[in-house]
Amino acid sequence: MDPVGVAAAPEAGPGPAWQSKCPWGTPKTASISCSLADVMSEQLAKELQLEEENAAFPEVVAVAEGPFITGENVDTSSDLMLAQMLQMEFDREYDAQLRREEKKFNGDSKVSISFENYRKVHPFDSDSSEDEVDWQDTRHDPYRADKPTITPKKGFIGKGKDITTKHDEVVCGRKNTARMENFAPEFQVGDGIGMDLKLSNQVFNALKQHAYSEERRSARLHEKKEHSTAEKAVDPKTRLLLYKMVSGGMLETITGCISTGKESVVFHAYGGNATEDDKVIPPECAIKVFKTTLNEFKNRDKYIKDDYRFKDRFSKLNPRKIIRMWAEKEMHNLTRMQNAGIPCPQVVILKKHVLVMSFIGQDQVPAPKLKDVKLNSEDMKKAYYQVLNMMQRLYKECNLVHADLSEYNMLWHDGKVWFIDVSQSVEPTHPHGLEFLFRDCRNVSQFFQKGGVAETLNERELFNAVSGLNITAENEVDFQAEIEALEKMNEDHVQNHGKKVSTFSTDGDPPIYNE
Ligand code: ADP
Ligand code: MN
């Protein structure tokens, strides 16, 4: 019997002689075997189909005009969305099955083999990535077939009529069967390995081809998913998160995109009726989606790596988790500011890399940035003193330095200034905290000076007014040097005492400007 052999197409009518002799009786529906040519053309058909799919499903997940996720339309409006969600479900089920197989495969063995590389959903994407065993060892492998006899260099073994060469059909067939193990684990090869199956070269090659093309296909799909994560507005996983927020009633409608930055995309949404921890959802929300592209965040390492609050965690995390940490950081910082009464968005909820907060603006129109709004001189002056006050309270009451403060991250709304974008904010004792503060002061000082506010403190005066330090250097270079010396002193102190306490001596608290 040749179970995988190339059989002729079944004929209609009474089965061929071998069928009636079959001890298991005549199969009701003859199994459809096919010729090698069919296999090959089937492959061709698949390739063509894949091409078609690629053309029909461009990877762009465009942000639609008007509401793009609402309670009503999400189920049916977008075939692409639906397909992506189904695909994601499928991938998850597939991975779950793979994990079961992996478990069965490894059994109680102390040495286990990981199937991780064959998963559809990248381990970084799943939450269970920590408990994966990813080292491999094949010393003990109960399922591995005995090694086929190795033919020595001379090309044959045995003597006389027992000679077998490397071309021997049986040896060759066994070798081919054993080599099937190299196919990806999801590739169905049956239990041929256990039953001393001998595969002809022809069949083996066809199978190998097919296994490789399946693997490539899977890799391509994966790459595409990754790519869309990096480049486009929202990747399927984020979309699913957003969808859940809408279907859970927390959000009513997500109307569209407000801003696409290097590191985040911000959407506008109308709040839903559900309450989150007894908090009433604001009528309008901003959703900040931290981009899961890794490149942009590399140069931000220094903000978070040296932040002692995150220090212990940093080294253990994978890049995707680090990005979630940015969102988490923004949430914590906003909460501190909220508690101190500094005008800023109010946190609604954080889910992974998606932060929902109250919307600063009205009727879907975000409040203008200070850089874009034309204020009269009275408002400009008012804004300046308000910013001075906010910077002081941020430092003193929240123990924070904004670290990216400029007219781009201050909004003008309801006749006052609002601080936003605080994911990179750090505590003043951060090894570069005072440098960040000095940079903030320079931006603020320059902006209001150009804006014609005569009372504006220069950057060094502003720095002292905010920090309560009394650096007397007359010029910028010396001032900067003193700042760095202070930072170094503090770091040394931390090194020696293992504690993060500020050693900055102040001549009493700076007078906080009251609006
Ligand atoms: P980025 O890191 O991309 O600069 P931001 O937090 O500054 O992220 O947000 C980008 C833009 O989105 C802001 O300049 C602002 O116009 C808008 N935006 C962000 N948060 C809000 C909010 N809570 N309310 C209204 N607009 C917001
Ligand atoms: Mn910003």
**Residues 145-179: tens digit of each pLDDT:** 444 455 566 666 666 666 656 666 776 677 776 67
403 Cα to the center of ligand 2, angstroms: 11
Q: Report CA-CA distances (Å) from 306 to 111, 178, 302, 433.
A: 38, 52, 6, 10
Question: Is 363 part of the annotated catalytic residue set?
Answer: no
H/E stretch holding 361: strand 361-362
- Helices then strands, each counted (H, E), the chain: 14, 12
Task: Check pLDDT > 70 for residue 403.
Answer: yes
> 62 vs 57, 80, 89, 239, 269, CA distance in Å?
12, 11, 22, 12, 17
Residue whose structure tokens are 């390995």? 193
Higher pLDDT, 314 or 267: 267
Which range is most confident: 40-49, 259-268, 331-340? Answer: 331-340
pLDDT at 264: 92
- 470 has pLDDT over 80: yes
C-beta atoms surrounding 255 within 10 Å: 19
Least confidently predicted of 6-10, 174-178, 500-504: 6-10
Q: Could you tell me the distance, in angstroms and rounded to a whole number, from the CA of residue 423 to the centre of ligand 2?
A: 10
User: Average pLDDT, stretch 171-189?
Assistant: 65
Name the amino acid, one letter, at 248: G
CA of 383 to the centre of ligand 2 (A): 19
- Residue 190 to residue 104: CA distance in whole angstroms: 16
Both tokens of 142, joined, read: 């109960």
- Is residue 288 in contact with ligand 1, taking CB distance under 6 Å? yes
Does the pLDDT at position 311 exceed 90? no
End-to-end CA distance of the chain: 93
Residue 383 CA, distance from chain mean position: 38
Residue 182: predicted pLDDT: 65
CA dist., res. 441 & res. 60, Å (int): 40
> What's the rounded Cα separation, in Å, for the pair 487 and 193?
66
Confirm or reject: Cβ of 468 under 6 Å from ligand 1: no
What are the CA-CA distances from residue 81 to residues 125, 157, 239, 352, 379 (Å)? 18, 61, 8, 20, 46
264 in contact with ligand 1, CB cutoff 6 A: yes
pLDDT of residue 139: 34
How many whole angstroms from 421 Cα to the centroid of ligand 2?
A: 5
Q: Is the CB of 348 under 6 A from ligand 1?
A: no
Q: Which of 165-174, 255-264, 350-359, 461-470 is predicted least confidently?
A: 165-174
Is the CB–ligand 1 distance for residue 265 below 6 Å?
Answer: no
Task: Count other Cβ atoms within 10 Å, centred on residue 345.
Answer: 25
Decide: 334 in ligand 1 pocket, CB within 6 A: no
Whether residue 263 has its Cβ less than 6 Å from ligand 1: yes
What's the 441 CA to ligand 2 centre distance in angstroms? 17
Q: Looking at ligand 1, which atom is closest to the CA of residue 422?
A: 6
pLDDT of 74 > 50? The answer is no
Kindly tell me the sign of the dihedral angle through the C-alpha atoms of 429, 433, 438, 440: negative
d(CA 467, CA 486): 12
Identified catalytic residue from 125, 235, 307, 404: 404
Nearest CA to ligand 1 atom 19: 266
For residue 193, what pLDDT band results from cuts at 50, 70 and 90? low
User: Of ligand 1's atoms, which has the minimum distance to the CA of residue 330?
Assistant: 6
As a whole number, the mean pLDDT across the chain is 76
Tens digit of each residue's pLDDT (9 = 90 or more) over 82-124: 666 677 777 777 888 888 888 888 888 877 777 777 776 654 4
For the beta carbon of residue 237, count every other beta carbon within 10 angstroms.
Answer: 18
Judge if the beta carbon of residue 409 lies within 6 A of ligand 1: yes
Mutate to test the pocket of ligand 1, among 63, 420, 423, 424 (most ligand atoms within 8 A of CB): 420
Amino acid at 121: V
User: Do residues 286 and 266 make contact, with C-beta atoms less than 8 angstroms apart?
Assistant: yes
Residue nearest to atom 11 of ligand 1 (CA): 259
421 Cα–ligand 1 center, Å: 6
* Residue 510 reports pLDDT greater than 70: no
Which ligand lies nearest to the CA atom of residue 366 in the structure?
Answer: 1
